Protein backbone atom coordinates (compact mmCIF):
# COMPACT_ATOMS: atom_id res chain seq x y z
CA UNK A 1 0.00 0.00 0.00
CA UNK A 2 2.74 2.45 1.09
CA UNK A 3 4.89 1.56 -1.90
CA UNK A 4 1.94 2.05 -4.20
CA UNK A 5 1.26 5.47 -2.69
CA UNK A 6 4.92 6.46 -2.98
CA UNK A 7 4.97 5.42 -6.61
CA UNK A 8 1.83 7.40 -7.24
CA UNK A 9 3.22 10.50 -5.48
CA UNK A 10 6.44 10.29 -7.46
CA UNK A 11 4.42 10.09 -10.67
CA UNK A 12 5.69 6.71 -11.80
CA UNK A 13 2.52 4.74 -11.16
CA UNK A 14 2.60 1.32 -12.72
CA UNK A 15 -0.69 1.90 -14.47
CA UNK A 16 0.89 4.59 -16.64
CA UNK A 17 4.17 2.82 -17.26
CA UNK A 18 4.48 1.55 -20.85
CA UNK A 19 4.15 -2.19 -21.09
CA UNK A 20 7.52 -3.69 -21.82
CA UNK A 21 7.51 -6.13 -24.71
CA UNK A 22 10.73 -7.67 -25.96
CA UNK A 23 11.28 -7.87 -29.72
CA UNK A 24 12.33 -11.48 -29.29
CA UNK A 25 9.84 -14.11 -28.28
CA UNK A 26 6.74 -12.54 -29.80
CA UNK A 27 4.06 -15.26 -29.96
CA UNK A 28 3.84 -16.41 -33.54
CA UNK A 29 0.17 -17.34 -33.32
CA UNK A 30 -2.33 -15.72 -30.95
CA UNK A 31 -5.89 -17.06 -30.85
CA UNK A 32 -8.67 -15.13 -29.15
CA UNK A 33 -12.03 -16.29 -27.85
CA UNK A 34 -13.82 -12.96 -28.23
CA UNK A 35 -16.50 -13.28 -25.57
CA UNK A 36 -18.82 -10.96 -23.65
CA UNK A 37 -20.48 -8.93 -26.40
CA UNK A 38 -23.98 -9.68 -25.15
CA UNK A 39 -23.21 -8.83 -21.52
CA UNK A 40 -21.41 -5.64 -22.59
CA UNK A 41 -24.62 -4.52 -24.31
CA UNK A 42 -26.93 -5.66 -21.53
CA UNK A 43 -24.93 -3.65 -19.00
CA UNK A 44 -25.64 -0.57 -21.09
CA UNK A 45 -29.33 -1.37 -21.49
CA UNK A 46 -28.79 -2.13 -25.18
CA UNK A 47 -29.85 -5.15 -27.24
CA UNK A 48 -27.24 -7.94 -27.42
CA UNK A 49 -26.53 -7.22 -31.07
CA UNK A 50 -25.24 -3.76 -30.13
CA UNK A 51 -22.44 -5.62 -28.35
CA UNK A 52 -21.61 -7.60 -31.47
CA UNK A 53 -21.46 -4.36 -33.40
CA UNK A 54 -19.17 -2.74 -30.83
CA UNK A 55 -17.00 -5.86 -30.94
CA UNK A 56 -16.03 -5.05 -34.54
CA UNK A 57 -14.07 -2.02 -33.37
CA UNK A 58 -12.14 -4.22 -30.97
CA UNK A 59 -11.33 -6.56 -33.86
CA UNK A 60 -9.85 -3.63 -35.75
CA UNK A 61 -7.82 -2.40 -32.74
CA UNK A 62 -6.39 -5.81 -31.94
CA UNK A 63 -5.59 -6.62 -35.58
CA UNK A 64 -3.54 -3.42 -35.79
CA UNK A 65 -1.86 -4.11 -32.44
CA UNK A 66 -0.98 -7.69 -33.43
CA UNK A 67 0.39 -6.53 -36.76
CA UNK A 68 2.52 -3.85 -35.09
CA UNK A 69 3.98 -6.41 -32.68
CA UNK A 70 4.95 -8.71 -35.54
CA UNK A 71 2.54 -11.52 -34.69
CA UNK A 72 2.28 -13.87 -37.69
CA UNK A 73 -1.21 -15.32 -37.16
CA UNK A 74 -4.20 -13.86 -35.31
CA UNK A 75 -7.10 -16.29 -35.04
CA UNK A 76 -10.40 -14.80 -33.88
CA UNK A 77 -13.19 -17.10 -32.71
CA UNK A 78 -16.14 -15.27 -34.24
CA UNK A 79 -18.90 -17.87 -34.53
CA UNK A 80 -18.93 -21.41 -33.21
CA UNK A 81 -20.75 -24.48 -34.53
CA UNK A 82 -22.82 -24.23 -31.33
CA UNK A 83 -23.77 -20.57 -31.83
CA UNK A 84 -26.53 -21.66 -34.28
CA UNK A 85 -28.54 -22.45 -31.13
CA UNK A 86 -29.06 -18.72 -30.54
CA UNK A 87 -32.27 -16.86 -31.49
CA UNK A 88 -32.70 -16.50 -35.26
CA UNK A 89 -32.49 -12.68 -35.10
CA UNK A 90 -29.14 -12.77 -33.33
CA UNK A 91 -27.74 -15.38 -35.74
CA UNK A 92 -28.93 -13.31 -38.72
CA UNK A 93 -27.22 -10.25 -37.28
CA UNK A 94 -23.98 -12.17 -36.73
CA UNK A 95 -24.10 -13.43 -40.33
CA UNK A 96 -24.24 -9.83 -41.57
CA UNK A 97 -21.19 -8.68 -39.60
CA UNK A 98 -18.45 -10.12 -41.83
CA UNK A 99 -19.64 -8.15 -44.86
CA UNK A 100 -20.04 -5.00 -42.79
CA UNK A 101 -16.59 -5.37 -41.23
CA UNK A 102 -14.89 -6.22 -44.51
CA UNK A 103 -16.61 -3.43 -46.46
CA UNK A 104 -15.26 -0.94 -43.90
CA UNK A 105 -11.80 -2.40 -43.42
CA UNK A 106 -10.72 -4.28 -46.54
CA UNK A 107 -8.78 -1.37 -48.04
CA UNK A 108 -6.77 -0.86 -44.87
CA UNK A 109 -6.19 -4.60 -44.51
CA UNK A 110 -4.82 -4.66 -48.06
CA UNK A 111 -2.63 -1.60 -47.33
CA UNK A 112 -1.27 -3.36 -44.27
CA UNK A 113 -0.46 -6.51 -46.28
CA UNK A 114 -2.86 -8.59 -44.12
CA UNK A 115 -4.05 -11.94 -45.45
CA UNK A 116 -7.66 -12.74 -44.55
CA UNK A 117 -8.68 -16.35 -44.02
CA UNK A 118 -11.68 -18.28 -42.77
CA UNK A 119 -11.34 -21.41 -40.62
CA UNK A 120 -14.73 -23.12 -40.48
CA UNK A 121 -17.42 -24.88 -42.45
CA UNK A 122 -18.77 -23.09 -45.48
CA UNK A 123 -22.05 -25.04 -45.55
CA UNK A 124 -24.90 -23.43 -43.56
CA UNK A 125 -23.26 -20.01 -43.89
CA UNK A 126 -25.60 -17.76 -45.93
CA UNK A 127 -24.50 -16.94 -49.48
CA UNK A 128 -24.22 -13.18 -48.77
CA UNK A 129 -21.86 -13.79 -45.84
CA UNK A 130 -19.75 -16.26 -47.77
CA UNK A 131 -19.52 -14.00 -50.81
CA UNK A 132 -18.04 -11.17 -48.73
CA UNK A 133 -15.60 -13.47 -46.97
CA UNK A 134 -14.47 -15.21 -50.17
CA UNK A 135 -13.95 -11.85 -51.85
CA UNK A 136 -11.72 -10.68 -48.99
CA UNK A 137 -9.80 -13.97 -49.07
CA UNK A 138 -9.31 -13.67 -52.83
CA UNK A 139 -8.20 -10.02 -52.67
CA UNK A 140 -5.67 -10.65 -49.92
CA UNK A 141 -4.42 -14.12 -50.82
CA UNK A 142 -1.02 -12.91 -52.04
CA UNK A 143 -0.43 -10.70 -49.01
CA UNK A 144 2.55 -11.76 -46.91
CA UNK A 145 1.91 -9.93 -43.61
CA UNK A 146 -0.30 -10.86 -40.68
CA UNK A 147 -2.68 -13.77 -41.29
CA UNK A 148 -6.08 -12.70 -39.94
CA UNK A 149 -7.83 -16.02 -39.50
CA UNK A 150 -11.54 -15.87 -38.66
CA UNK A 151 -12.75 -19.01 -36.89
CA UNK A 152 -16.27 -18.73 -38.28
CA UNK A 153 -18.72 -21.62 -38.07
CA UNK A 154 -15.84 -23.40 -36.36
CA UNK A 155 -15.98 -26.19 -33.80
CA UNK A 156 -13.02 -28.24 -32.66
CA UNK A 157 -14.84 -31.54 -32.14
CA UNK A 158 -16.37 -31.46 -35.61
CA UNK A 159 -12.91 -30.63 -36.95
CA UNK A 160 -11.48 -33.69 -35.18
CA UNK A 161 -14.32 -35.97 -36.31
CA UNK A 162 -13.75 -34.85 -39.91
CA UNK A 163 -10.00 -35.49 -39.54
CA UNK A 164 -10.65 -38.99 -38.18
CA UNK A 165 -12.98 -39.73 -41.10
CA UNK A 166 -10.31 -38.62 -43.60
CA UNK A 167 -7.69 -40.81 -41.93
CA UNK A 168 -10.08 -43.78 -41.71
CA UNK A 169 -10.70 -43.46 -45.45
CA UNK A 170 -6.94 -43.54 -46.11
CA UNK A 171 -6.68 -46.68 -43.97
CA UNK A 172 -9.61 -48.29 -45.79
CA UNK A 173 -7.93 -47.62 -49.14
CA UNK A 174 -4.82 -49.31 -47.79
CA UNK A 175 -2.68 -46.16 -48.02
CA UNK A 176 -1.95 -46.02 -44.29
CA UNK A 177 -1.64 -48.68 -41.58
CA UNK A 178 -3.42 -47.88 -38.28
CA UNK A 179 -0.17 -48.30 -36.34
CA UNK A 180 1.51 -45.75 -38.62
CA UNK A 181 -0.91 -42.93 -37.74
CA UNK A 182 1.14 -40.10 -36.26
CA UNK A 183 0.32 -36.75 -34.65
CA UNK A 184 1.35 -35.13 -37.93
CA UNK A 185 -1.39 -37.00 -39.84
CA UNK A 186 -4.00 -35.56 -37.49
CA UNK A 187 -2.60 -32.02 -37.60
CA UNK A 188 -2.52 -32.21 -41.40
CA UNK A 189 -6.25 -33.05 -41.54
CA UNK A 190 -7.34 -30.09 -39.40
CA UNK A 191 -8.61 -26.79 -40.78
CA UNK A 192 -5.47 -25.18 -39.34
CA UNK A 193 -3.21 -27.58 -41.28
CA UNK A 194 -0.85 -24.95 -42.68
CA UNK A 195 -0.74 -22.77 -39.55
CA UNK A 196 1.51 -23.11 -36.52
CA UNK A 197 -0.24 -24.15 -33.29
CA UNK A 198 -1.36 -21.16 -31.20
CA UNK A 199 1.27 -20.02 -28.71
CA UNK A 200 -1.27 -18.13 -26.65
CA UNK A 201 -5.04 -18.30 -26.23
CA UNK A 202 -6.79 -15.24 -24.85
CA UNK A 203 -10.38 -15.34 -23.61
CA UNK A 204 -12.26 -12.21 -22.61
CA UNK A 205 -15.41 -11.82 -20.47
CA UNK A 206 -14.46 -13.73 -17.34
CA UNK A 207 -15.47 -17.21 -18.53
CA UNK A 208 -12.71 -19.68 -17.78
CA UNK A 209 -13.45 -22.27 -20.43
CA UNK A 210 -12.48 -23.24 -23.94
CA UNK A 211 -15.91 -23.69 -25.59
CA UNK A 212 -14.85 -26.18 -28.29
CA UNK A 213 -11.95 -24.09 -29.60
CA UNK A 214 -8.74 -25.55 -31.11
CA UNK A 215 -8.60 -28.45 -28.64
CA UNK A 216 -5.87 -30.36 -30.46
CA UNK A 217 -3.84 -27.30 -31.45
CA UNK A 218 -3.71 -25.78 -27.96
CA UNK A 219 -1.84 -28.67 -26.34
CA UNK A 220 0.97 -26.36 -25.20
CA UNK A 221 -0.60 -22.93 -25.64
CA UNK A 222 -0.30 -20.40 -22.84
CA UNK A 223 -3.78 -19.46 -21.60
CA UNK A 224 -4.65 -15.90 -20.61
CA UNK A 225 -8.01 -14.81 -19.25
CA UNK A 226 -9.46 -11.39 -18.50
CA UNK A 227 -12.80 -10.28 -17.05
CA UNK A 228 -13.02 -7.47 -19.61
CA UNK A 229 -15.81 -7.87 -22.17
CA UNK A 230 -14.61 -8.11 -25.77
CA UNK A 231 -15.90 -4.67 -26.93
CA UNK A 232 -13.78 -3.05 -24.17
CA UNK A 233 -10.64 -5.05 -24.93
CA UNK A 234 -7.92 -2.70 -26.14
CA UNK A 235 -4.29 -2.49 -27.26
CA UNK A 236 -3.00 -1.97 -23.72
CA UNK A 237 -4.67 -5.15 -22.47
CA UNK A 238 -3.46 -7.02 -25.51
CA UNK A 239 0.10 -5.84 -24.87
CA UNK A 240 -0.29 -6.84 -21.22
CA UNK A 241 -1.17 -10.37 -22.32
CA UNK A 242 1.84 -10.57 -24.65
CA UNK A 243 4.12 -9.13 -21.98
CA UNK A 244 2.95 -11.79 -19.52
CA UNK A 245 3.42 -14.47 -22.16
CA UNK A 246 7.04 -13.38 -22.48
CA UNK A 247 7.58 -13.82 -18.75
CA UNK A 248 6.26 -17.39 -18.72
CA UNK A 249 8.53 -20.41 -18.94
CA UNK A 250 7.26 -22.84 -21.57
CA UNK A 251 8.65 -26.22 -20.61
CA UNK A 252 6.74 -28.62 -22.88
CA UNK A 253 7.10 -31.28 -20.23
CA UNK A 254 10.84 -30.69 -19.77
CA UNK A 255 12.47 -28.96 -16.83
C1 LIG B 1 -19.17 -13.41 -28.11
O2 LIG B 1 -20.04 -12.71 -27.29
C3 LIG B 1 -19.59 -13.39 -29.55
C4 LIG B 1 -20.13 -14.67 -30.04
C5 LIG B 1 -20.15 -15.79 -29.38
C6 LIG B 1 -20.68 -14.68 -31.39
P7 LIG B 1 -21.37 -13.38 -26.73
O8 LIG B 1 -22.46 -13.13 -27.69
O9 LIG B 1 -21.15 -14.80 -26.38
O10 LIG B 1 -21.62 -12.52 -25.42
P11 LIG B 1 -22.03 -13.06 -23.99
O12 LIG B 1 -21.02 -14.10 -23.64
O13 LIG B 1 -23.39 -13.63 -24.13
O14 LIG B 1 -21.95 -11.88 -23.11
C1 LIG C 1 -17.45 -18.92 -27.61
O2 LIG C 1 -18.30 -18.08 -26.91
C3 LIG C 1 -17.64 -18.75 -29.08
C4 LIG C 1 -17.16 -17.48 -29.63
C5 LIG C 1 -16.53 -16.56 -28.99
C6 LIG C 1 -17.43 -17.28 -31.03
P7 LIG C 1 -19.73 -18.59 -26.39
O8 LIG C 1 -20.34 -17.45 -25.70
O9 LIG C 1 -20.49 -19.19 -27.50
O10 LIG C 1 -19.32 -19.75 -25.37
P11 LIG C 1 -20.10 -20.32 -24.11
O12 LIG C 1 -21.49 -20.66 -24.56
O13 LIG C 1 -20.08 -19.24 -23.07
O14 LIG C 1 -19.30 -21.51 -23.69
MG1 LIG D 1 -20.49 -15.75 -24.74
The domains of the chain, with CATH numbers, are: 29-247 (3.40.1180.10)
Q: Mean pLDDT check: name the lowest of 5-19, 21-35, 188-202.
A: 5-19
In what helix (H) or strand (E) does residue 31 lie, and over which residues does it extend? strand 29-33
pLDDT in tens, 30-60: 999 999 999 999 999 999 999 999 999 999 9
Pocket of ligand 2 (CB under 6 A): 33-35, 77-80, 83, 207, 209, 211
Cα of 254 to ligand 3 centre, how many Å?
35
What size, in residues, is the chain?
255
Q: How confident is the model at residue 13 (pLDDT cuts 50, 70, 90)?
A: very low
**Which of 160, 169, 152 lies closest to 189 in space, CA to CA?**
160
pLDDT of residue 16: 60
Question: Does the annotation count 143 as an active-site position?
Answer: no
User: Which stretches of 66-197 are assigned E, i.e. beta strand?
Assistant: 73-80, 115-119, 147-154
- pLDDT tens digit sequence for 97-127: 999 999 999 999 999 999 999 999 999 999 9
Q: How many helices (H) and strands (E) does the chain have?
A: 8, 6
Report which bound ligand comes closest to the CA of 203.
Answer: 2
Listed range (12-26, 45-59, 140-154, 176-190) with the worst mean pLDDT: 12-26
Q: What is the pLDDT of residues 186-233, one digit of tens each?
A: 999 999 999 999 999 999 999 999 999 999 999 999 999 999 999 999
Give the integer Cα–Cα distance in Å for 172 and 165.
10
Residue 52 CA, closest ligand 1 atom number: 3
Instruction: For residue 11, give the 3-state DSSP assignment.
Output: coil
Could you tell me if 226 and 248 are in contact, meaning their C-beta atoms sit under 8 angstroms apart? Answer: no
**Angle, vertex CA 77, rays to CA 74 and CA 81, nearest 5:** 145
Q: Average per-residue pLDDT in the chain?
A: 95
Which pTM does this prediction carry?
0.94
pLDDT for the residue 44: 98
pLDDT band at 3 (very low <50, low <70, confident <90, very high): low
Annotated catalytic residue, options 25, 83, 143, 212:
83
Amino acid sequence: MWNKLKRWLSGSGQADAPIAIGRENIPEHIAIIMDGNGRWAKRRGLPRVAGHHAGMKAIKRITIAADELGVKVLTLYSFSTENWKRPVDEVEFLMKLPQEFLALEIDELIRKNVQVRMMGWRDNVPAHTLAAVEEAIERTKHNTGLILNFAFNYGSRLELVTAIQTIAEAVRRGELMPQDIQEEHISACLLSADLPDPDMIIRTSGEIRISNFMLWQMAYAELWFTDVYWPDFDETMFRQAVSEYQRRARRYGGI
